[in-house]
Amino acid sequence: MILYPTIELQNGRCVSLFRGRLEEPQIWHVDPVLKAIEFAKAGAQWIHVTDFDAIAGDDRNRDLVDEIIRRAGAPVQLGGGFRSMAAIQEAVDRGVGRVVLGTVALLQPDLLKQAAKAFPDQIVLAVDVYQGQVMSDGWRQASAYRPREFLGWFDSDPLAAIIVTDIDADLGEAEDALALVTQLADVARAPVISRGIARSLDGISRLKYVPKVSGAIVGRALFDKSVDLEEALAIASEPMGRMVPMI
């Protein structure tokens, strides 16, 4: 299983959001570029970057993101504010390894299909789910769609991966934190990356036993030191036959 250490950017700073609230970020006083380099040196195969300002249509972090791409030492999977083929093309030209599309996939599914065809294995679909519904606009808007139905729209498209965010689990409200990702990984046609569950070494260990889950995104836990990245990477890369499930 591949771990994706995550850097979330707002105003040039590393942040974490509580319940997706852009107006109430938790600020981490670290250099985003140096943090990306640190993640890569620890052994991360990918760095996941979310640009919250770009989601709001503000490109103030562009140079910072470009520096992360140049200096990190691992490919970057970038999400935030992609609303056109031109923007996706530009990101690929800048050296982004994968482009993440979420809300735009709900509003313009043909754009995601076009992008996946133009950039096979570089487009990632983000599916944010709360109380059984696909959410948009940074967790603020509930759509009319259930996640299985939404995934079905893109069954034939050559996606690099599908990020499944269980918002209930991220907020600590899910009775069974693995239920959603287990169900969606079973029907997805592309590798599934879980988000919202890898908040501890135990959570990472449990995810390894979910069939068809290829990766996990971990963010806040790396910044508040509740997860050590090198330990997490060791668990994620351990051959299944040698592991003992953590109860």
Tens of pLDDT, residue by residue over 97-123, are: 999 999 999 999 999 999 999 999 999
Is 128 a catalytic site residue? yes
Q: What is the mean pLDDT of residues 35-58?
A: 96
Say which residues have a Cβ less than 8 Å from residue 126's Cβ, sequence separation at least 6: 79, 100, 101, 102, 105, 162, 163, 165
Q: Is 208's pLDDT higher than 80? A: yes
Q: What is the mean pLDDT of residues 59-67?
A: 97
* DSSP-derived 3-state class of residue 185: helix
Is 8 a catalytic site residue? yes
Angle, helices 62-71/32-42, rounded to nearest 10 degrees? 30
Q: How many CB atoms lie within 10 A of CB 225?
A: 7
From the candidates 8, 51, 157, 170, give the one annotated as an active-site residue. Answer: 8
Strand 2-10 to strand 213-218: parallel, antiparallel, or no bridges (unpaired)?
parallel
Query: 241: pLDDT confidence band, cut at 50, 70 and 90?
Result: low
Which residue is associated with the tokens 């907020």? Answer: 171
Domain 2-235 has CATH 3.30.70.60: no
CA 189/CA 156 separation, integer angstroms = 8
- Average per-residue pLDDT in the chain? 91
The phi and psi torsions of 229 (rounded to 5 degrees) equal -65, -40
Give the pLDDT score at 243: 47
CA 227/CA 109 separation, integer angstroms = 36
Which residue is associated with the tokens 């759509």? Answer: 143
From the candidates 51, 53, 128, 166, give the one annotated as an active-site residue. Answer: 128
Query: 175: pLDDT confidence band, cut at 50, 70 and 90?
Result: low
Q: Is 5's pLDDT higher than 50? A: yes
What does pTM read for this prediction?
Answer: 0.92
pLDDT tens digits for range 126-142:
999 998 899 887 667 78
